[in-house]
Amino acid sequence: NPGTRIAETPSGVLNCIGLENPGAEHFVREILPELKKYDVPLLANMSAGTIDEFAWMAETLSVDGIAGLEVNVSCLNVECEGMAFGVDPKVVESVTKAVRKVTDKPVIVKLSPNVTDIVEIAKAVEAGGGNGVSLINTLLGMAIDIHRRKPVLGNTYGGLSGPAVKPVALRMVHQVYKGVTIPIIGLGGIMTGTDAIEFMMAGAQAVQVGTATMVDPTAISRIAREMSEYVEQYNLNSITDIVGAVHQV
């Protein structure tokens, strides 16, 4: 998007980048070979403007070196007056099916929190044959420059991420865990090992870290270390012992 694309807020950040990237083909040809040098599984996060484009994107990204696809449904559906794919369970099921049909890779659908009933959307992923869900994407927000009397962000609205969204994200992971049987990747405001463990106790099998890396580029390795310390402190076999633990109390 043009104009200002990032605005700091207390405890978080608003962004309206607009998914800028050089495209799936360029990614596979030029960027993936570099990333393959790292000894970690790579998930490709993808978004599109139509269901056909989602299918094309999934096919294009289903190559050696990609461990799985993460389908971002927070983007706008150009065939539906620009409504986000992720707000309509029927559309989410169709996108999941369309991607599932063209790839052998695990398909994880990344849910938008800008919905009334997140469980209904997660169930649609399950019905469409998705292998997992990740949540949450950013919460729609706004900032105003009172001197210019204008929105701070070039796109007026932007997605809120960082610690401010963590309680909402945690609540949604907890609700989705109770509603579906497919695995969950939890994210939204994770800054510390404690935050990550909370997500796992709410029901996430794995976590992601985004905004924290903007304030601490080493956040991910630190968080992993803090999680290992917890495993030792409580004499667990593995961090996955705590998945959904809060439901057992």
Ligand X SMILES: Cc1cc2nc3c(=O)[nH]c(=O)nc-3n(C[C@H](O)[C@H](O)[C@H](O)COP(=O)(O)O)c2cc1C
Residue 15 in the binding site for ligand X (CB under 6 A): yes
**75 labelled catalytic:** yes
Which lies closer to ligand X via its Cβ, residue 4 or residue 161? 161
> Rounded CA gap, 5 and 17, in Å?
5
Segment contacting ligand X by CB under 6 A, of 13-21, 55-63, 116-124, 235-243: 13-21
Residue among 75, 160, 187, 200 flagged as catalytic:
75
Residue nearest to ligand X (CB): 210
SS3 content of the chain, % helix, strand, coil (to 5): 40, 20, 40
In Å, what is the CA distance from 87 to each residue of 112, 133, 153, 245?
7, 15, 23, 29
Helices (H), the chain: 24-26, 32-35, 51-61, 89-102, 118-127, 166-179, 193-202, 212-215, 219-233, 245-248
Which C-beta is closer to ligand X: that of 149 or that of 213? 213
Interaction pattern, residues 160-199, with ligand X; x per rule: CB under 6 A: -xx--x---------------------xxxx---------
Contact 172, 117 (CB under 8 A): no
Calpha distance 118→111 (Å, rounded):
8
Closest to ligand X by CB, 48 or 209: 209
Per this entry, what is the length of the chain? 249
Say whether residue 203 binds ligand X (CB under 6 A). Answer: no
Nearer to ligand X, 6 or 236 (CB): 6
Handedness of CA 28, 103, 206, 71 (dihedral sign): positive
User: Minimum distance between the CB of residue 6 and ligand X, rounded to whole angstroms?
Assistant: 7
Residue 102 near residue 61, CB atoms below 8 Å:
no
Site map 85..124 versus ligand X, x via CB under 6 A: -------------------------x--------------
**Residue (14 or 241) nearer to ligand X, CB:** 14
d(CA 37, CA 177): 34
Q: How far is the CB of 187 from ligand X (least distance, A)?
A: 5
- CA 21/CA 27 separation, integer angstroms: 9
Selected from 89, 151, 186, 210, the binder of ligand X by CB under 6 A is 210
Contact with ligand X (CB under 6 A) among 4, 72, 103, 112 = 72
Q: Is 130 in the site for ligand X (CB under 6 A)?
A: no
Closest CA to 195 of 163, 171, 164: 163
Chain positions contacting ligand X, by CB under 6 A: 13, 15, 17, 19, 45, 72, 110, 137-138, 161-162, 165, 187-190, 209-212
